[in-house]
A and B are shown apart, each in its own frame.
Chain A
Amino acid sequence: MELNLMVAGFGGQGVMMIGKLLSQATCDSTDYNVTFYPSYGAQQRGGTANCYVVISDREVGSPKPNIVDQLIVMNDVSMVKFRTNVQSGGIIFTNSSLVKSGAERDDVAVVPIPVTEMAMELGSLKVLNIVMLGAYIGYTGLIDENLVLDCILRLLGKKPEFIELNKKAFAMGLDAGKKVKAA
Chain B
Amino acid sequence: MEAVYTRTKTLNGNLLGFCPGCMHGTTFKLIGEVLEELGIDNKASCILAIGCCGLAQDAVSYDLATAPHGRAAAAATGLKRSNPDTVVFTYQGDGDLASIGLAETIHAANRGENISVIFINNGIYGMTGGQMAPTTLVGMKATTAPGGRDPKQHGYPLHMAEIINQLVAPVYIERVSCNNPANVRKAKNAIRKAFQNQIDGKGYSFVEVMTSCPTNWGLSPEKSLKFLEENMMKEFPLGVIRDNG
* In the complex, A touching B (Cβ < 8 A): no
Residues on A lying within 8 angstroms of B by beta carbon are: none
Query: Interface on B for A, CB 8 Å cutoff?
Result: none
